[in-house]
Chains A and B, each alone.
Chain A
Amino acid sequence: MDYEIVIGLEIHVQLQTESKMFSWSGTEFGLPPNTQTDPVSLGLPGTLPTMNRKAFELALKTAVALGAEIAPFTKWDRKNYYYPDLPKNYQISQYDLPFSKGGHLEIPPRKDGGGGTQCRLTRIHLEEDTGKLTHGYGGLSEVDLNRAGIPLLEIVSEPEIRSAADARGCLEELRLTLRYLEVSDCEMQEGSLRCDANVNLHIHKDGQTIATPIVEIKNLNSFRSVEKALLYEADRQYKEWQKNGKTIKDAPKTTRGWDDDLEETKPQREKETAADYRYFPEPDLVPVVVDAAWLDRVRQSIGELPFARRKRFEAEYGLSPYDANVLVEQGQDVADYYDAVAKATGEFKLASNWIQQDVLRTIKENKSTVAEFPVKPEGLADLIHRVKRGELNTNQGREILGRMIETGEPAETIIEKGGYKMVSDREAIAAAVEAAIAANPQALEDIKKGKKKPEAVKGFLRGQVMKQTGGKANPAMVGELLEARLAELVP
C-alpha cells in the first residue's frame, strides 16, 4: 500500500455572541424548539437583516490570530438554495469578496513524532447558521429555527493535510486557539464547532501518482470521529480503487456520512439538481470597509496564543514540551494561573507539578474551572514557598492544600490551627532515628550482610521515623541524621 492521504477541512464555528448575526434573538444551545426566534430569523416577509458588530469583530479577531490577510473591502452575498432549515431559502454568506484570505492552522507536534507542521487556509468567511431538522414525525420532519441566524465562521483549509492524526491535531489546536480568543466555545457535541472533510488518496504506482475521486465526509461530531472516519475512508478508497480503478478524472465528488455507531462512512443521497447557488450581492446589507486603525485595535485585543505560549513556557521556564502542553491546552485560565505561580515562586518545575497534580485534579473532580478554584495563585505560591523552605514536607503540603480548598483559608491559618509545624528539633529527631533502628534490628543486618541495597533500607527506616513523628519531621533533617547514624553503625 503505497499511498498518501490528502485532506482538506471545511470547518464551521459558531461565534459567541449575545444575539444572532442579523437579528436580535438569542444564541443559546438546547432551548425548546422554536422559542429563540424573531421575525428576521424566521425569514418572515418584509424583514431585513442588520449586521451584528460583535460577530464581525470576533471574525476579524479570528482571522488576524490565524495570520490571515484581511480584505479592506468586503460584502455580503446571497447563496440561493431550497432547504427547509433555511427559512429564506437563501443563506446570507460571502462569495467573491470574503473578509479574509489565507492564514494557517498549527498542527502541534505529537509524541509519535508526527505533527509539528502547519496547514494553510484558503479563506475564512462569515455567514448565518441554518435551523435544524428532526426526522420521524410520521413521515414528516420537524423544523426548529432556534439555531437559524447564529453567526457562523466558515474556515476552509487547503487540501494539504497528510494524515488523519494531523487533521485531528489541527482541529484541536483550532479549538484551543478560538477558546483562547474567546471567539467560540467550540463544543463539537453541541455543534458550535463542526467539521466536514474532503479526502482522497494519492496512490503511487509505477512511478506515477494516481488521485482517487474526492469524497466529502459529513456528520463528524467529535475529534475522535474525525480521525476514525479519515482512516476508514482512506482504507475504503484504496480498496475501491483496487476494485474499479476509478480516478479523480472518472468520478465527480461525492458525499458520505460518518456513522459513529457502525464506524463507517455511507453514501448520502445526491440532490436532484446540480448545485447552482446563483450568488449575488445581498441588497439588504451594505459592504464593510476595514481600515488600519480598526485592524490595529483588533490586533491589540489578541493575547498570547497557545502556540506561542507553549514555546515560551519551554524557553522561559524550562518546561518539557509535554508539561508546557498540558498547562497550555487546559485553556487560558490554567496557563495564566501557572504563569502567576511560576513567577511568584521562581520554582517553575515545582509549580508545574503542583498545578498538574493537585489543582487540575481537583478541578476535574469537581467539574469546575480555575476561575472558581478557591486557592488563588498567591495562595499556592505561598504554600510552595513553605515546602521549599522546609517548613512543610510534601505530604503536609498536599494535606494543607486540601484544607485550603475546603475552607478557603490561607495556609498560615491552617498550619497554626492544625499543628502542621514541621518538627525540626535535632534532638527529637535523633531520638526517633535511634528508636527506629533499635526497633528494626533486621534492617541493620541486611545492610551489613549486603542482603539489600543500602538505599532501600534507608528508605524504609526514613518511613519509620516519619511514622513515629506523625509525619511532621523535617524530611531533610531525618535524612541527614539517619545517614550520620548509619555511617557510625556500619562503617
Chain B
Amino acid sequence: MSLSNDDVAKVALLARLRVSPEELSTFTGQLNSIVDYVAHLQEVDTEGVEPLAHGVEVRNVFRDDARGEPLSREDALANAPKRNATGFLVPAVLD
C-alpha cells in the first residue's frame, strides 16, 4: 500500500501534531518506506495464533482499596504551563 499526503495529514491530526507542508512530504516518504518494510510481516502464517501483548503473562494483580496521601494542590499544579490558584487552564473548551 502507499500512503498519500492526505492520509498522513489525517494521521497527524489524529495524533495532534502540526506538520508543515514540507514536513508532510518528508513524513509521507519515510512512513511509506517503513510501512513497506513492515509489510514483510504478512509473509508469516499466523492462522490461529493468539496475539502476544505482553512478555509476561500473569493474571489478577490487584491492590487493596486503601486511600493514601494525596498530592498537595501545589505539587499537583507545580508543572502546569498555565494555571490559576486552583486549577490547570486551557483554551476554552466549547460544548
Contact = CB atoms under 8 A, between A and B. Distances in A.
**Main DSSP-derived SS at the B contact region:** loop
A133 interface: yes
Contacts of B63: 50-53
Interface string B25-63: 000000000000000000000000000011001111111
Nearest to A36: B70
B59 A142 contact: no
B62 A142 contact: no
Contact of B84 (A137, A278, A286): A137
Contacts of A144: 86-87
A287 interface: yes
A36 B67 CA distance: 11
Given A32-B86, A143-B88, A38 B65 contact: no
Given A55-B65, A273-B13, A288-B59, A34 B89 contact: no
Nearest to B62: A53
A42 B76 contact: yes
A137 B89 contact: yes
A288 B57 CA distance: 11
B92 A34 contact: no
Contact of B95 (A33, A34, A38, A257): A257
Contact of B87 (A17, A139, A143, A283): A143
Contacts of A84: 88, 90, 93
A135 B93 contact: yes
**Main DSSP-derived SS at the A contact region:** loop
A18 interface: yes
B95 A286 contact: no
Contact of A38 (B60, B61, B68): B68
Interface string A272-301: 110010101101011111000000000000
Contact of B90 (A141, A145, A286): A141
Given A33-B87, A34-B87, A51 B16 contact: no
A34 B73 CA distance: 6
Contacts of A137: 84, 89
B84 A142 contact: yes
Interface in A1-51: 17-19, 24-26, 32-39, 42, 50-51
Contacts of A278: 14
Contacts of A19: 65-68
B59 A289 contact: yes
B70 A26 contact: yes
A141 B62 CA distance: 35
B88 A286 contact: no
A273 B14 contact: yes
A82 interface: yes
Contacts of A38: 68-71
Interface string A340-380: 00000000000000000000000000000000000000000
A19 B57 CA distance: 27
Contacts of B65: 17-19, 52-55
A53 B64 contact: yes
Given A35-B73, A272-B13, A25 B60 contact: no
Contacts of A135: 92-93
Contacts of A24: 66-69
Given A140-B90, A145-B76, 5 more contacts: A19-B66, A34-B88, A50-B62, A280-B53, A288-B60
- Sorted nearest first, the 4 A-B pairs with minimum C-beta distance are A24-B68, A54-B65, A53-B62, A142-B87
11 contacts: A24-B68, A25-B67, A32-B86, A33-B86, A34-B88, A50-B61, A51-B63, A143-B90, A269-B94, A272-B13, A283-B53
